[in-house]
Amino acid sequence: MQDQSFNPFHMAQAQFDHVADLLELDKSARQLLRNPMREYHFNIPVRMDGGAVEVFRGFRVQHNDARGPGKGGIRFHPQETINTVRALAMWMTWKCAVVDIPLGGSKGGVICDPHNLSAREQEQLCRGWVRQVARDVGPLADVPAPDVMTSAQHMLWMLDEYETIHGAKYPGFITGKPVGMGGSLGRREATGYGVIYTVREALRELDLQPQNTLASVQGFGNVSQYAIELFNEMGGKVICVSCWDQDDQTSYTFRKNSGIVLEELRSITDHFGGISKDRAKDLGYEVLPGEAWLEQEADILMPAAIENQITKDNVEKIHSRVRIIAEGANGPTTPEADQVIHKRNIFLIPDFLANAGGVTCSYFEQVQSNINYFWEKEDVLGRLDTKMTAAFQAVSEMAKKRNLYMREAAYVISVNRVAQACKDRGWI
């Protein structure tokens, strides 16, 4: 369960403030970039299958669009808060900038638990969300996408509602669509593969061979599964994964010394990324407490679940063998934990660089939808590899040049690009 006292937006602002000092940004730039440009808060009434009407709270936050239309996912989560959405929108701004794609940062969410909603109720929730913001989003303004506990089907319902309202076809309004309905090949793999493209480059810098490395992963959703897939293809071995158990309302770590078998775990996983504890035991996995993933004797840690997972309270549990932390999730590491990681000289690949593969491929999908021409999967993943590798190398070079921590270097590049766009537009 997430710490209710944790405010991710305050963390995002603290990270920005630190880099604003490094860049010596003036007061107007700080004021503009420290807070979202626009926010939408709204109620979504849904008639439930039993006949009663339930009202859900929804959000869309547009942090900055100086470099292009807003871009960012929509989360369905029972613990969603406006401060989470604000933080994620800000991180999306930096994420789009670090991989140098012409988009800004946005994020959306609904406070709900889709585990407890029928398909019809989820459809009504999706359509209701779009009705509330249909005038303020679109292919030239703000482009949504899937996020935690939303899927291609949710995106298609949202697209259909948007097109119904506007009376025309706008496939570029939303990304993460089914491939047969304007989605992009390679989109499902993109975020997880992007994480591993950056891990590959970090291994090269540290002169480590993938086949000699072990990894421990938090989360078993789309990002984690495809990261494990590509890491295995490179010769690496994942010894455990940690994920949330919906029945027990807690998390567990599933471990095998010989390495987890991806397809084996996929066969006992629900569509929200939850692994069956009992079936895992039957397959010979150790079932450990949820935080045990952090303590494993591994070379690489990949937090790929949600924010606020590596904190001052558990960072010292990280094994001395760990050389790389690749943040597949958004905001998994608090500033206090960051200081410890930096002192230990662990090579950190920050979230908005490591997991930028998703938004990069979403941008590719948006481009394809707008021109009504679609690329082969090899083309998409090749372009993705090129973008992610170039972004990693730029951040690494900045870190070496200015003797910065990798997170600081990534922020320096991103914030500088966004601030310059605001200045060029005459906003500041």
306 touches 351 (CB < 8 A) = no
Other Cβ atoms less than 10 A from the Cβ of 346: the count is 16
Other Cβ atoms less than 10 A from the Cβ of 113: the count is 14
Please tell me whether residue 225 adopts helix, strand or coil conformation: helix
* Helix, strand, coil tally for the chain in percent (to 5): 50, 20, 35
Q: How would you label 81-90 residue by residue, b for 16+ Cβ within 10 Å and e otherwise?
A: bbbbbbbbbb
Of 168, 197, 187, 126, whose CA–CA distance to 375 is shortest? Answer: 187
The span from the CA of 262 to the CA of 260, in Å, is 6
If you search the block for the tokens 């984690």, which residue do you land on? Answer: 224
Kind of pairing, strands 53-64 and 142-146? unpaired
CB within 8 Å of 164: residues ≥ 6 apart? none
Other Cβ atoms less than 10 A from the Cβ of 367: the count is 15
What is the rounded radius of gyration, in angstroms, for the C-alpha atoms of the chain?
A: 21
Kind of pairing, strands 70-77 and 324-326? unpaired
* CA-to-CA dists, residue 397 to 405, 412, 416, angstroms: 11, 12, 16
CB within 8 Å of 426: residues ≥ 6 apart? none
| Catalytic residue numbers, as ranges | 107
User: How is residue 291 written in tokens?
Assistant: 């935080």
Residue 410 backbone phi and psi in degrees, to 5: -65, -40
The span from the CA of 55 to the CA of 51, in Å, is 13
Kind of pairing, strands 142-146 and 70-77? parallel
Number of residues that this document lists for the chain: 428
Instruction: Return the bridge partners of 142, or none.
Output: 70, 138
Dihedral of the CA atoms 102, 22, 342, 256 (nearest 10)?
Answer: -10
Dihedral of the CA atoms 213, 219, 221, 225 (nearest 10)?
Answer: 10
